[in-house]
Amino acid sequence: MSSAHKNLSIFSTDNLPDISEKRFALVVAEWNEQVTEALAQGAAKTLLEYGAKPENIVRANVPGSYELTFAAQKMAQKNDIDAVICIGCVIQGETKHNDYINHAVAQGLTNVSLKYDKPVIFGVLTPNTEQQALDRAGGIHGNKGDEAAITAVKMLAF
Ligand SMILES: Nc1c(NC[C@H](O)[C@H](O)[C@H](O)CO)[nH]c(=O)[nH]c1=O
Ligand SMILES: CC(=O)[C@@H](O)COP(=O)(O)O
């Protein structure tokens, strides 16, 4: 079901684990900062709403979404990080560059998650237009940052 038919920030929060002592890395790409900052704020707010402590959310910025994988690995290898949430926005341009970034990051974050046996959440928007991005960063389709945070919390139940 496409985002056009549902608010991405409406999800079940039943049976969530206690995250009061869990530590989260929040890795944020600076490209399309208006969007990624809205996503990051949504993710942080949601973690706090569901019981995370402010001191247990470790924020790190990277230049672009392609760099999320390297930073995610640096965070995932830390013994005091329980989950990594990666935030980015890769807007389609005139060339295929966005495709290469998106595929590299999706596969890269999956590899990091499996290598370090920790949830590494793909909170990267891959819109065709800036408006599509804004719609998913606190607009008509909710906030994908909220969704990424809840996903991290749910995965800590495994
Ligand atoms: N065009 C976008 C980029 N491009 C930059 C790359 O992510 C990367 O930093 C560069 O290729 C150097 O390695 N990044 C985004 O996050 N969003 C874009 O729309
Ligand atoms: C997705 C990007 O990296 C973006 O800057 C590429 O834009 P373009 O394909 O028009 O060069």
Of all ligands present, the nearest one to the C-alpha of 95 is 2
Query: For the residues of the chain, what is the DSSP string, one character each?
Result: --GGGS-TT----TTPPP-TT--EEEEEE-TTHHHHHHHHHHHHHHHHHTT--GGGEEEEEESSGGGHHHHHHHHHTSTT--EEEEEEE----SSSHHHHHHHHHHHHHHHHHHHHTS-EEEEEE--SSHHHHHHTEEETTEEHHHHHHHHHHHHTT-
Q: Please check whether residue 108 lies inside any domain of the structure.
A: yes
Per-residue pLDDT tens digits for 91-121: 999 999 999 999 999 999 999 999 999 999 9
Q: Please check whether residue 76 lies inside any domain of the structure.
A: yes
Q: Please check whether residue 132 lies inside any domain of the structure.
A: yes
Which tokens sit at 9?
Answer: 């920030």
Closest to 149 measured CA to CA, from 90, 101, 87:
87
Q: Please check whether residue 65 lies inside any domain of the structure.
A: yes
Q: Please check whether residue 45 lies inside any domain of the structure.
A: yes
Flag whether pLDDT at 157 surpasses 70: yes
Per-residue pLDDT tens digits for 1-57: 576 666 656 677 788 999 999 999 999 999 999 999 999 999 999 999 999 999 999
Q: Whose CA is nearest to atom 5 of ligand 2?
A: 93
Taking the centre of ligand 1 as the mean of its atom positions, its distance from the CA of residue 17, in whole angstroms, is 34
Give dist(CA 124, CA 134) in Å, integer. 13
Ligand-binding annotation for 129, yes or no, is no
This prediction has a pTM of 0.95
Ligand-binding annotation for 136, yes or no, is yes
Show the domain range for 112. 39-156
Here the CATH number for the domain that contains residue 141 is 3.40.50.960
Q: Whose CA is nearest to atom 6 of ligand 1?
A: 64
**How many structural domains are present in the chain?**
1
For residue 36, which atom of ligand 1 is closest to its CA?
A: 16
Q: Please check whether residue 142 lies inside any domain of the structure.
A: yes
Q: Please check whether residue 121 lies inside any domain of the structure.
A: yes
Q: Please check whether residue 24 lies inside any domain of the structure.
A: no
